Amino acid sequence: MANLSLSHSPDVNITEKQKSVMSGSLQIRVFPSTSELALSLAQVLVHESQGSNGFKLGLSGGSLVQLLSRELPKTPGLCTQDWKVALCDERLLPFTDPESTYGEYQRHLIQHGVLSESQFVKIDPSLSVEEAAADYTRKLRELFPGSDVPSFDLLILGLGPDGHTASLFPGHPLLEEKDQIVAPIKDSPKPPPERVTLTLPVINAAKTVVFVATGESKAGVLKRILQDAESDPLPAARVAPTHGKLLWLLDEPAARELTCPVEKHSVL
Ligand SMILES: O=C1O[C@H](COP(=O)(O)O)[C@@H](O)[C@H](O)[C@H]1O
């Protein structure tokens, strides 16, 4: 990785998050362009999956699908044969609907031959949202036999401009969920209203969590998540893997309001 430089303002108040940045348990990498960010994300995938026997990956939807679909087909050294892929959240829609996250992976990533349909653990969109969550829970329990709380090797999360991640929304009671590993949501403020999501206990049990956030619309919320110590933290600010690593990959417009230490990366 060329042109790595640390950038921070030494005169700001030091929060717990900033201490995590300095101790290395939290890394924030900022890229000049989305394509450089995508390249780095692909390298993270190569690195994290190397040597793992049955790599278990959780993918989010939204803008991440296009980013991965553009980058992964041209990533050297990516061996995906033994991967199992689940979705961090899914909208309760037929896979043929353009808003279905699995449908989007099917139309883009699977079509490029990077992964096959049989590698995905998917919801059953023909069920009610409660039944779909129970069915998805059962499928994840099969994927992680013997684990009370599944521990994914890598989860890739997105970030909404409101601070949501997966289908965990600000102020929603699901943020307090402690027992279920998967939950149904019927009142998502972002359409469609019915979704199935991993809960915070599973997200925080992952070995590595990578957030991907791009674009100016995420700048304000990123400052709140990464720098402000709010009494009622936003969903994405509640992601702090208990024993794992947390990495934020941002482009410059998204990182515009940050004054905490970040790694500035350029691969060109
Ligand atoms: O609704 C969702 O939004 C988030 C963020 O999407 P983005 O397009 O702003 O990147 C996504 O991570 C989540 O999986 C999806 O269901």
Choosing among 3.30.450.20, 3.40.50.300, 3.40.50.1360, 3.40.50.20, the CATH entry for 26-264 is 3.40.50.1360
* Ligand 1 pocket check for 61: Cβ under 6 Å: yes
What per-residue confidence (pLDDT) applies to 1?
43
How high is the pLDDT of residue 2?
Answer: 38
CB atoms near residue 253 (< 10 Å):
15
Contacts of 214 (CB under 8 A, 6+ apart): 34, 37, 63, 67, 250, 251, 253, 254
- How far apart (Å, rounded) are the C-alpha atoms in residues 21 and 16? 9
Residue 161 Cα, ligand 1 centroid: separation in angstroms? Answer: 9
Amino acid at 232: D
Tokens representing 235 are: 């969903």
pLDDT at residue 3, rounded to an integer: 44
Hey, what amino acid is at 68?
A: L
User: Domain residue spans in the chain?
Assistant: 26-264
pTM: 0.94
- Name the residue of 34, 64, 188, 248 to mutate for ligand 1: max ligand atoms within 8 A of Cβ: 64
String of DSSP letters for 147-216: -SS---SEEEE---TTS-BTTB-TT-GGGG--S-SEEEES--SSSSS-EEEE-HHHHTT-SEEEEEE-SG
Task: Tell how far the Cα of 33 is from the centroid of ligand 1, in angstroms.
Answer: 19
**pLDDT-flagged residues of the chain (< 70):** 1-24, 268
H or E segment to which residue 249 belongs = strand 245-251
Residue 124 pLDDT: 98
Q: Which one-letter DSSP state was computed for residue 77? A: T
State which of 63, 67, 187, 188 you would mutate to test the pocket of ligand 1, scoring each by most atoms of that ligand within 8 A of its C-beta.
63
| C-alpha to C-alpha distance for 87 and 104, rounded to whole angstroms | 12
163 lines ligand 1 (CB under 6 A): no
Phi, psi (deg, nearest 5) at residue 108: -110, -65
Judge if the beta carbon of residue 167 lies within 6 A of ligand 1.
yes
For residue 258, give both structure tokens: 């940050």
Say how far apart CA 138 and CA 74 lie, in whole Å: 34
Q: What is the predicted pLDDT for the residue at 53?
A: 87
CB 159 within 8 A of CB 165: yes
- pLDDT confidence of residue 10: 41
The length of the chain is 268
CA 42 – ligand 1 centroid, Å = 19
